[in-house]
Amino acid sequence: MRRVAAIICAVLLAGATFSAASGVTTKLPDDKAWLMRMMSCEGEGVSMELYLPQSVIFSNRAAPDASGMQPGQVVIGYYTLDLTDANKGKSLEPVRVTLSADRKTVTVDQYTRGLPPTRIPVKGGTVDFDQRFGTGAKCGPFQAQDPDYGNKR
């Protein structure tokens, strides 16, 4: 009996170690980073928001029109799903965010839940995040909070 208990403990410990190691490799923003809301979406009884690290949003590069997120760049950000109206609370999950090469769409990959990536027009539009809660969500423009947003187009 003790031998079985020892084997079970070893398996659980190995699983926890593997789980912790896979979380580290996603390179989440550290505790010194602060995040900024870059997109807000509203659905029926639900709201979603997308946050990115300020180091990406306000990064200055050589060309003045090249600050902020770059085409093709993949960034780890956070996605909120607010189900407070349904008495389910508000969740916060890491997501991979990619700006398309033509700067016309933003792809949000909810990789932790295995959902298909969601493509959102940069100027805003109606999208489906997940088939349970996030369908028909109306999203505002991406990077609308960026003070230089209008000068980048």
The string of DSSP letters for 35-65 reads EEEEEEEEETTEEEEEEEEHHHHT---SSGG
Return the percentage of the chain with pLDDT > 70, whole number.
Answer: 67
39 with 140: CB under 8 angstroms? yes
The three-class DSSP label of residue 130 is coil
The three-class DSSP label of residue 115 is coil
| Per-residue CA distances from 50 to 1, 4, 9, 62 (Å) | 50, 46, 39, 27
pLDDT in tens, 12-36: 444 444 444 444 444 555 656 788 8
pLDDT band of 77, cuts 50, 70, 90: very high
Q: What's at 130, amino acid-wise? A: D
* Mean confidence (pLDDT) of the chain: 75
d(C-alpha 52, C-alpha 37), whole Å: 7
- Predicted TM-score (pTM) of this structure: 0.69
